[in-house]
A and B are shown apart, each in its own frame.
Chain A
Amino acid sequence: MLVVDGLVRQFGTAVVLAGVGFSLGPGRAAAVVGPNGAGKTTLLRCVVGADRPDHGEVLLDGNELREDDPRSRAAVASVLDDVGFFPDLSVGEHLDLLARAHGVEPDTAPVLAELGLEALADRTPVGLSSGERRRLALASCFVRPRRLLVLDEPEQRLDAAGRRWLVERLEREKAAGCAVLFASHDAAVVEAVADQTVELGA
């Protein structure tokens, strides 16, 4: 389903990704692991089209994954480190808007309930804690269609119960046929979810 081949990304003379390659099938999960500065976020950004690699290619279903193609955007749901929020939209309105942008009828209540955001549905993001904002960002992946989930350190700012929920949710995503690519420093989450690892900076 997803094939990453010979990905190279350099900033100036600093080579962050030097020919990274792997493939990921539907219903499977790959964890990107490595020390700080190894290029985990850069790799995920290149995969979803938030950054452009200098060389190499990212294929989805055998075709180049182009972020400007609506079919790619329909297939790939991602939460990286660049999620922003509208200061004047409530939690519920954010999710409603995203569902509409994907052309699906908004049904946000189950997702809000699952992520413990039900009571916060009318609040604006400025009134949320960083952990709650993280949950809202993750919720954005589950109100829309998806076949590939790309998450950058999804366990960040989640409490112990939140991490248990995350593992269970990612397992359900896999069972539904969705491929999951995530970067993580949490060995327990990697152990529980990943079917394969992509090691960087080794």
Chain B
Amino acid sequence: MTAPPLVHVPAARELRTELARVRRARRAATKDGPGSDWYTPLLAVFVLGGLLVQGLRRVMGAEAAPLPHAPHVGLLLGAVGLVLAGMVLRAALALGPMLAGPAVRHWVLSGVVDRGAMLRPRLAAAAAVAAVVGAGIGALGAIVVAGTVPPWRTAVWWSVTGAGVAVALVAAAVVWQAGSPRAGRATGVGLVGAGLALALAALLVPRSATVPSVPVTDTAVVAWAAALVLFVVARRRLIVLDRAALGAGSGLAAAVQAAGTFIEPGLLLGLLEERRWRSARRGRARRGLGHRSVALLHSDLRRALRTPGALTLGVGLLVVSYTAAAILPHVAVAPVVAVAAYAIASRVAAGLRAVTRSAALRRALGGTDGVLTLLHLAAPLVVAAVWTAAVLPALLPANPLAVVLIPIGAVAVVERSATRPPPDYGAAVFDTGFGAVPIDLVRQLVRGPALLAGLAAVQLLLAV
């Protein structure tokens, strides 16, 4: 056995400096890059900073006027917090959260340089972003609890709590990434499940009951204590992040970037759908049924029933709908149910998306595009109708027309979204004076969401 040779480890700071120097020199040579449009981020900072200052001034100048609240509102807020935390954890673990692109992995991190030191600035940046976003969500929570503009001290405490929780979540995700991402993902699912259970419990609590409340100052202290401990552990664990861990989320990150750059959410949604199906168990090969239309209907219904996570999503959306019925004014329930029906119909519409996006598949299946589209709308319609029937008690007393419109409208939105043509970047642009707005591009992008908004508006009108 040969003993491994001792290696000279270059300092991470030196390597980072060298990379930055070379890239600066290259940009200067080409007279291109971020330096040429420095005023754009400056303008964004100016505008957003102004909005933030105005908001803070309003909060600090306002009188405390909390509205009387039933105990279930606090429980529901906790439920929303748990669901949000679970989703953030899942998303962070899907992306990394420590992430290195293929170039950095091959040309920098494959070296003997201290990997932990190379990744520390990224961890600090991730924690800082999480703190800012968490503070914003915390402030939003304060506004919801107060029912109006909250006293500024309360808003600050809620923001501090939100920031602490967000930093703790990101740091915990890094610790799991370096150890067992599977356990982290399971915890994320557990948090979402706990949130839904808490929402159900909130529905059962009598409105006159007294539920002990936790002071926000205590919550903030606990959140930041957890955040600091987890951050220190995560910082130490950076050194064990290997190429597999650092590259696991790079496909998803590239899809997020491409979807943002080309204003094409389909690029991201397609990848997410592919990942869902990859995680599914292998389907049992069964014989088809009938010919042509019957065979296509049968296979699409089978695909809908096999869709990974569809049942969980359906149950979760039922809880959301019944919760909305318990706490929202009656007129607001049907629009919420309509959006939820769209979500479940969209989840089981993989077959429709496959035939509308692939001309080769349509050619292979034969028949007209219209007939193929109609046949692949049947399974989402059946699923949406069954789900709507399950949510019917939450809608009572209901307008029959509104109820019938829910599954039909949901499937119509799915069809509009699935048949959206690829973005036309050369389409008409309207110069507003504050910048050019690509009107046609916007019209194409809102093709499905606009109909969903219309459906919600119709539901609102029918409920009044």
Contacts and interface: CB of A to CB of B under 8 A. Distances in A.
Contacts of B14: 100
A45 to B, nearest CB: 8
Interface in A49-86: 49-52, 60-63, 66-68, 70-75, 78, 82-86
A176 to B, nearest CB: 15
Nearest to A70: B112
Interface residues of B, number: 45
**Interface core residue of B19, B102, B111 (most chain A CB under 10 Å):** B111
Interface stretch (A10-18, A154-162, A180-188): A10-18
Interface in B232-264: 239-244, 247
B249 to A, nearest CB: 13
Given A61-B2, A97-B18, A101-B107, A89 B26 contact: yes
B111 A101 contact: yes
Contacts of B27: 88
B279 interface: yes
Nearest to A48: B243
Contacts of B105: 82, 84
A14 B15 contact: no
Contacts of B241: 68
Contact of B15 (A49, A68, A101): A101
Interface in A38-53: 45, 48-52
Contacts, number: 130
A84 B103 contact: yes
A86 B107 contact: yes
Interface string B15-34: 10011001100110000010
Nearest to B26: A88
B458 interface: no
A1 interface: yes
Contacts of A49: 242-244
A53 B403 CA distance: 51
Nearest to A99: B111
A78 B278 CA distance: 27
| Candidate in A72, A100, A145 with the most chain B CB atoms within 10 angstroms | A100
A74 B243 CA distance: 14
Interface stretch (B5-13, B210-218, B292-300, B426-434): B5-13
B282 interface: yes
Contacts of A51: 244
Contacts of B101: 84
Given A68-B239, A88-B33, A102 B4 contact: no
Interface string B326-355: 000000000000000000000000000000
B107 A70 contact: no
Contact of A97 (B19, B115, B280): B19
A101 B10 contact: yes
A28 interface: no
A86 B103 contact: yes
B282 A12 contact: yes
A96 B108 CA distance: 11
**Main SS class of interface, A:** loop
A12 B244 contact: no
Given A1-B2, A49-B243, A82-B105, A102 B23 contact: no
B4 A71 contact: yes
B187 interface: no
Contacts of A197: none
Contacts of B7: 70-71, 74, 102-103, 145
A146 B91 CA distance: 37
A78 B110 CA distance: 9
A90 interface: yes
A61 B244 contact: no
Given A12-B279, A68-B241, A84 B26 contact: no
Given A14-B282, A89-B26, A103 B10 contact: yes
Contacts of A89: 22-23, 26, 107
B3 interface: yes
Given A1-B2, A50-B247, A84-B105, A101 B26 contact: no
A140 interface: yes
A98 interface: yes
Given A63-B4, A70-B7, A84-B103, 8 more contacts: A14-B282, A50-B243, A75-B5, A86-B103, A97-B18, A100-B111, A101-B112, A103-B9
Interface of B: 1-5, 7-10, 14-15, 18-19, 22-23, 26-27, 33, 101-115, 239-244, 247, 278-282
The 9 closest A-B pairs by CB, nearest first: A101-B111, A84-B102, A84-B103, A67-B242, A103-B8, A70-B112, A71-B4, A68-B242, A74-B7
21 contacts: A1-B2, A12-B278, A12-B280, A12-B281, A13-B281, A14-B282, A45-B244, A49-B242, A67-B244, A68-B242, A70-B112, A70-B114, A72-B4, A74-B7, A84-B102, A86-B103, A88-B27, A94-B107, A102-B7, A124-B26, A140-B107
